[in-house]
Amino acid sequence: MKRILLILAVMAPVCMGMAKTEAPDIIPVPHKLEMAKGSFRMKGVSINCDASLDAATVKAVRKFADRLTLVSGKTVSVASPVGLARSVETGGIKGLCFVKDASVAPEGYKLSIGKKAAVVRASDYNGFFYALQTIKQMLPISIYGSVQSSKGKWVLPCCEIEDAPRFGYRGLLLDCCRHFFSTDQVKKVIDVMSMYKLNRLHWHLTEDQGWRIEIDKYPKLTEIGAFRNGTMIRREWGSNDGIRHGGYYTKDQIRDIVAYAAERGITIIPEVDMPGHMVAALASYPELGCAGSGPYEVLTYWGVSKQVLNVGKESTMKFLEDVCSEVADLFPGEYFNIGGDECPRDEWKTDPDCQAKIKELGLVSDEKASAEARLQNYVTARMQKFLATKGKKIIGWDEILEGELAEGATVMSWRGTKGGIKAASMGFDVIMSPNNYCYIDHCQSTDLESEPFCISKTPDRAVTLEKLYGYEPYTGFPEEDRHHILGVQANLWTEFIGTPEYLEYMLLPRMIALSEVQWSRPESKDINRLRKSLETHEFPILDLLGYNYRRLDK
Shortest distance in whole angstroms from residue 342 CB to ligand ACM: 5
Nearest CA to 135 among 47, 52, 53? 47
Minimum CB distance to ligand ACM smaller for 247 or for 416: 416
Cβ neighbours for 528, distance < 8 A, ≥ 6 positions apart: none
Nearest CA to 68 among 152, 130, 128? 152
Shortest distance in whole angstroms from residue 412 CB to ligand ACM: 7
26-56 burial, b if ≥16 CB within 10 A, otherwise e? bbbbbbbbbbbeebbebeebbbbbbeebeee
β-strand partners of 201:
172, 268
Q: Per rule CB under 6 A, is residue 437 in the interface with ligand ACM? A: no
d(CA 214, CA 206): 11
Q: Per rule CB under 6 A, is residue 271 in the interface with ligand ACM? A: no
Minimum CB distance to ligand ACM smaller for 58 or for 205: 205
**Number of residues this chain uses to bind ligand ACM (CB under 6 A):** 4
Shortest distance in whole angstroms from residue 6 CB to ligand ACM: 40
Residue 416 and residue 398 in contact, taking contact as beta carbons nearer than 8 Å: no
Which of 397, 519, 547, 549 forms a contact with ligand ACM (CB under 6 A)? 397
**Burial degree of 389 (CB within 10 A; 0-12, 13-18, 19+):** exposed
207 phi and psi angles, rounded to 5 deg: -160, 170
269 phi and psi angles, rounded to 5 deg: -110, 115
Encode 489-548 in three state secondary structure.
Answer: EEEECCCCCCCHHHHHHHHCCHHHHHHHHHHCCHHHCCHHHHHHHHHHHHHHHHHHHCCC
Q: Per rule CB under 6 A, is residue 342 in the interface with ligand ACM? A: yes
Minimum CB distance to ligand ACM smaller for 439 or for 539: 439
Q: Per rule CB under 6 A, is residue 341 in the interface with ligand ACM? A: yes
Cα 435–438–444 angle (5° rounding)? 100
Interaction with ligand ACM in 299-328: which residues (CB under 6 A)? none
Cβ neighbours for 149, distance < 8 A, ≥ 6 positions apart: 71, 72, 140, 142
Which of 414, 428, 469, 539 forms a contact with ligand ACM (CB under 6 A)? 414
User: What is the number of the residue whose Cβ is closest to ligand ACM?
Assistant: 341
Q: Per rule CB under 6 A, is residue 547 in the interface with ligand ACM? A: no
Minimum CB distance to ligand ACM smaller for 194 or for 307: 307
Shortest distance in whole angstroms from residue 277 CB to ligand ACM: 8
Minimum CB distance to ligand ACM smaller for 263 or for 342: 342
Minimum CB distance to ligand ACM smaller for 108 or for 339: 339
Q: What is the DSSP letter of 243?
A: -
Tell me the helix, strand and coil percentages in the chain, rounded to 5.
40, 20, 40
Shortest distance in whole angstroms from residue 493 CB to ligand ACM: 7
Shortest distance in whole angstroms from residue 399 CB to ligand ACM: 8
Shortest distance in whole angstroms from residue 284 CB to ligand ACM: 22
Minimum CB distance to ligand ACM smaller for 160 or for 342: 342
Residue 44 and residue 22 in contact, taking contact as beta carbons nearer than 8 Å: no
Shortest distance in whole angstroms from residue 433 CB to ligand ACM: 8
Alpha-carbon Rg of the chain, whole angstroms?
25
Q: Per rule CB under 6 A, is residue 211 in the interface with ligand ACM? A: no
Minimum CB distance to ligand ACM smaller for 50 or for 341: 341
Cβ neighbours for 173, distance < 8 A, ≥ 6 positions apart: 202, 203, 204, 271, 433, 489, 490, 491, 492, 493
Shortest distance in whole angstroms from residue 411 CB to ligand ACM: 12
Cβ neighbours for 247, distance < 8 A, ≥ 6 positions apart: 180, 182, 210, 212, 226, 227
Shortest distance in whole angstroms from residue 52 CB to ligand ACM: 43
d(CA 535, CA 526): 14
Minimum CB distance to ligand ACM smaller for 145 or for 416: 416
Shortest distance in whole angstroms from residue 413 CB to ligand ACM: 10
Residue 246's region, left for phi above 0, alpha for psi from -120 to 50, else beta, is left
Minimum CB distance to ligand ACM smaller for 88 or for 412: 412
Q: Per rule CB under 6 A, is residue 203 in the interface with ligand ACM? A: no
d(CA 311, CA 434): 29
Minimum CB distance to ligand ACM smaller for 273 or for 347: 273
Minimum CB distance to ligand ACM smaller for 199 or for 337: 337
Residues that bind ligand ACM (CB under 6 A): 341-342, 397, 414
